[in-house]
Each structure stands twice: as structure tokens, then as C-alpha cells.
Amino acid sequence: MYPYYLTIVLAPLFAAIVAGFFGKQIGRAGAHWITILAVGLSCLLSAYVLYQLYWGGAEPENISVYTWAVTDGLRMEIGFLVDRLTALMMVVVTFVSLMVHIYTIGYMHDDPGYSRFFSYISLFTFSMLMLVMSNNFLQLFFGWEAVGLVSYLLIGFWFKRETAIVANLKAFLVNRVGDFGFLLGIAAVVMFTGTLDYAEVFASRDSIAAQSIEVFGGTAWNAMTVICILLFIGAMGKSAQAPLHVWLPDSMEGPTPISALIHAATMVTAGIFMVARMSPLYELSEVALATVIVIGAITALFMGLLGIVQNDIKRVVAYSTLSQLGYMTVALGASAYGAAVFHLMTHAFFKALLFLAAGSVIIAMHHEQDIRKMGGLRKYMPITYWTSLIGTLALIGFPGSSGFYSKDLLIEAVRDSHWLSTDAWVYWIACLSVLLGVFVTALYSFRMFFLVFHGKERMDAKTRSHLHETPAVVTVPLILLAVPSAVIGWITVEPILFGGFFGESIVVGESHDALAKLGEHWHGSLALLLHAPVTPVFWLAVAGTATAWYLYLVRPEIPGKIVERFSSAYKLLVNKYYFDDLYMKGFAGAGRSIGKVLWEKGDQRLIDGMLVNGTANSVGRLAGVLRQLQTGYLYTYAFAMIIGLTMFLGWLVWFR
């Protein structure tokens, strides 16, 4: 299937080049048609590859396309590793991207950068495909940096807005922090194995685990632990885990279609995929796994709390992405890699749906994004309403939805990770965070849903007079995403989690295999659905939904009183735990202050003042003194000659 792989990867790249460089020649219609057809072709071929690998009996392939360079025996290659994990990611990426491409026709209809936007999102798809299909760390890093570059371009797409420029710069710089750790991790892999190839690195994993390295003088660390933690720092940046999460909410400054693509299927899922791909390494370092699970637990709960106080419709959905990425990271840390990837898949569908539905609302509201100025949109936008409801139910894990199967079983897998009991505090942090996060998720999700679609109409009369459902080019992608958001979990949960779907793509130690223990009590999708009402997860979701209904529909005056009563906590949440202040005023501010001091004291006074200009000024002053000797009078010069001659004769007499 080698030609298929090249076509899947290169079709979006070709379309991006044509739309980007020849947009004026092919026109707006040409730009969207060539990119949609290219991504559609990649989607169909990706589905065919998945079909062949799962149903057609095809074997995973590890192919070297060409060797880019060889230095000191280190081969730098471009190649593909296509197994079931890769194929699943390929389908998710290309399908969501296809929906976003179609939706963009309606959302960006009047934008002057129409062709440029299609070029960027097609290039984004190419970059993510290169990342997930790579068979070596070099290509992984290329795809890793490429999605970062394109996200920078897309977040700042409306570059005349100062907020967009600040947001894309923040995303770029924060990801550089994570990427520095990621690059060090790759360097450590090369140092201990002498290769960049996945297969060769995985084959050497026992050797790596038996070695140590001194990170700080006199302190020996296990080499595998160091490598895994460094790689995870990269994942923290890309997948927006605390404290490197601050760029993701601000990415809402980009157009809504790219918010859906970044949050659902491309950039933020890269870190989750990478850790799952590196499962053979992580399984040999429980310290690294504990680090992963703690970071994920903190992100899942505390980023979800921020969603409760957000009033921008896109930012509410953005904080839900942060929280759900935390859930996936917790699963990775609990060695439930399959559960993490399964939730990644279902999340891609319902999160893309929620973002595109938010965009539909924004279009209808003439680009108003404050949910406090909405309300009662249900009767004006029935398709957006019902698809949003499906996406919201999937997000909170309502029984039967795709999110129910992925999130419920993820939580169960974390609970069954009894090997974590050796670090009891890690185990309880993980369990409590994912459980409390269920209530929080339901609360902020239905708070937004009720404020947007139910209750009193709070928009102005002019906006109300123009309210109507958005065009089919917007609503059709919503419907197509709503279908998998509703049913994909029911259909795929058994083969993915309990049917050995991933095969050797994911490696789990026997003592860590919580999904295997969970599988011993698996009786099918229907049995899990019927069992839902007796689980704490179900009642926590119900409690969160009921709380949102009571606070924002029945007694809407209560939230204001809560804010007054708990003003300090509210201020803490509104200021996002002051992370932005720490980074912008602390690190960045301190850097600017140090730079100002060095400029004023070092550059202006020392270098310019004393060295450069000081030398010139000294010569000038000396010249001013010497200039006084040049009077232009003959008797002055004669007098000087006599004095000089007298001094010379005196010197001869004295020293003779």
C-alpha cells in the first residue's frame, strides 16, 4: 500500500501549495475545491488503509522512503510506520479536517484571506499526517514543528488584530519551551541508542532502562526516566498541559474553523499520540508515568473549573478541551493507552462539532461571542441546537453517547490501575480529579448550552430581527459530525479496548494492564449502558447538569450572589490562577526589565558612552587643548623653539 501512503500525505501538501501560491489565478472556488478534494482523497484512502489493516488481513508496514542524511553512522530518514494506531489517527485527522474544510466555505465566505486560509488548513493536515505516520524521531520532530508553525500562522490569521498577534506569539513561545524538552529527549535517545528509528529504539529499551545519567552533578537518574520525562515536556506544550496550557485558550483569536481543527484533530492531540506511540519506553519508568498522571489530573480538574466563569462561547469550549486532554493524559499515566487514544478519537468528533456549532451561533449573532448576550436561540436555529445538544451530551459522557463509552471506561481504567497504589497519593489524585471533573464538565457545558439556546432572549432587537439558521454549507458538517458523536463509541468500544485492536502498536506491562482487568468484566456495549445508572460517574454528570439548569434557568440571580459571596475564589478563576500574570508580568516582564537595564547601563553608558563615544570625546578634548598651541603668530612659534632648544641643551649638560 506504499503508493497510498504517499498520496495520503502529499495530496494536502500539493493542494496547499496550489491554493497558497496560485490563489489569485484559480480564484476562491478553485482554492476550496482543490483543498477539499485533496483532503477528501486522503480521508478515503486512510479509511481504506484502516479497513485493510483491521478487516483485510494486511500487516503493519514500516517503510523507509528515502535517506535524508547520514552522519557518524546516524541515519536520518523519511519513512512511514503504518499500523492500526497510525491508521486510526489518519482517519480521524482527515475526516475532521474534511468537515472543517467544507464548513470554512460558509464561515470565511467574505474574508479577503479566503485562499490563504484554505492553504493553511490543508498544510496543517499534511503536517499532522507526517507526524502520525512517521517511523522515526526525525520525521516526528518535523511534523511536530510543522503543526506548531502552521498553528502560529492560523492563530494570527487576522494579523491586523493586536490580540491575534499576541495570541499566536504566546502559542509559539510556550511551545518552544515544551519543544526544548522534546528535543533534549530525542537527543538522549540518540545518545543511548545511536539511532532515530522507532523499531531500533524500542528494541534497545531494556538496555536504556539499565543505564543512568547525571542530570545534576552527583545525582544519578535512570536514563529511561529522563528520556520519558523530557519527551513528555514536549507533549505538555503541544497538548496544553499545565503549566504550559496558557496558549490554548488564546488560540480562540483565530477563525472558528481552525479552533476546531487545532482542538479536535491536529495539534493538541499530537502529544497524546506521541506518548501512546512511545508506550514501550514509558512502561519501563513508573516515575515518568506518575509524572504524567499527576500533570494530567491537575489539568483535568483545574482547567475545567475555569470553564465555569468564561463568557466567551469559544473559550468555554476551549477550556473543555484542556480538561479533556487532561483526562487523556491521566489515562496515559495509568498505562491505559488504548483508553486515551479511544477518548482522543471520540473527543475529536464531538469537540469539532461543538466548535463548529459555536461558529454557527457566532455567524447568526453577527460575530457576537458573549453568551450573556444570547438566549432563546433554540427556535431560530433548530439544526445547530440539536447538533449542539448531541455534542454537549457526548462531552459530559451521557449514557449511549460516544463520550460515555470513552470517558466512563477511561475513568474505570484509572480506578483499576492498582499498581499505582504503591504511590497512594498519585492514585487518589488521579481518581478524585477524574471523578470531580465529571461534575465540573457537566456544569460548565450545560451552563453554556442553557445560556445560549434557552431562557430569556438577551440580544438586541437588530440582532434578533436577523436571526436564522445558518446555510447548509455550515449545518451539513454539523450533522455529519453529530452522527459519530452519537454512535461511534457504541460501535467501536469493544474492538478498540477489548478486541486487541492496537496489537503491537501499544505495549503494556502485565502488571500495568488495567484494561485487561476491566475486560474480564466486559459484557458488551448494551450491558455498560444499562449499568450506567448505578455508577457515580452518571450521577455526578446528572448533578452537574441539574445544577446548571437550576442556577441559569430557574434561579438566574443566584450565580451573582455566589460571585459576591466567594469573590476571592471567583477572582482567582477569572484571572486563570494568575498564570498569565506570572508569565507576562513575571518572566516576560522581568526579561524586559533586565533588557532595559542592560540597554541603559551597559549599551548606552558603558559601550556607547565610555568605549565608543568616550574614546571619540577624549580625542576631541585633547584636540581642543592642543588646538590652543596653534595661534598663527610667528613670535609664538619662535618662543616655543627657543624653549625647546633650551630644554634640550639642559638635558645634554645634566646627563653628560
Residue 606 has what pLDDT?
A: 76
Angle at 104 between CA 99 and CA 110, to 5 degrees: 165
Give per-residue pLDDT as tens, 423-434: 678 888 899 999
Give per-residue pLDDT as tens, 448-497: 999 999 989 898 888 888 899 999 999 999 999 999 999 999 999 999 99
Q: Tell me if 308 sits within 8 A of 444, measured CB to CB.
A: yes
Give per-residue pLDDT as tens, 266-321: 788 899 999 999 999 999 998 999 999 999 999 999 999 999 999 999 999 999 99
What are the residues facing 62 on neighbouring strands? 81
Q: How confident is the model at residue 100 (pLDDT cuts 50, 70, 90)?
A: very high
Residue 468: phi and psi, rounded to 5, are -165, 165
Q: Count of residues for the chain?
A: 656
What gap in Å lies between CA 157 and CA 151, rounded to an integer? 9
DSSP state for residue 418 in the 8-state scheme: G
Q: Taking residues 211-230, what's their average pLDDT?
A: 87
To the question of pTM greater than 0.85 for the whole model, the response is yes
What gap in Å lies between CA 8 and CA 64, rounded to an integer? 16
Q: Which of 102, 130, 116 is nearest to 158 (CA)?
A: 116
Give the distance from CA 435 to its chain's centroid: 24
Centre a 10 Å sphere on the Cβ of residue 89 and count the other Cβ atoms it contains: 28
Show the cell assigned to 262. 487545532
Give per-residue pLDDT as tens, 134-152: 999 999 999 999 999 999 9
Burial (CB count within 10 angstroms: exposed 0-12, middle 13-18, buried 19+), residue 3:
exposed
Give per-residue pLDDT as tens, 29-51: 999 999 999 999 999 999 999 99
What gap in Å lies between CA 500 and CA 18, rounded to an integer? 41
Average pLDDT value for the chain: 90
Residue 552 has what pLDDT?
A: 94
What gap in Å lies between CA 252 and CA 246, rounded to an integer? 12
Q: Taking residues 362-385, what's their average pLDDT?
A: 92
Q: Taking residues 157-170, what's their average pLDDT?
A: 89
Q: How confident is the model at residue 366 (pLDDT cuts 50, 70, 90)?
A: confident
Residue 547 has what pLDDT?
A: 96
H or E element at residue 78: strand 74-82
Residue 493 has what pLDDT?
A: 93
Residues 6+ apart with CB under 8 A from 461: none
What are the residues facing 197 on neighbouring strands? 136
Q: Locate cell 492498582: which residue?
A: 418
Angle at 70 between CA 65 and CA 76, to 5 degrees: 45
- Within 423-566, where are the H helices? 424-453, 461-465, 472-493, 514-519, 525-531, 536-549, 558-565
| Alpha carbon separation from 545 to 395, 539, 550 (Å, rounded) | 12, 10, 9
What gap in Å lies between CA 447 and CA 432, rounded to an integer? 23
Residue 421 has what pLDDT?
A: 54
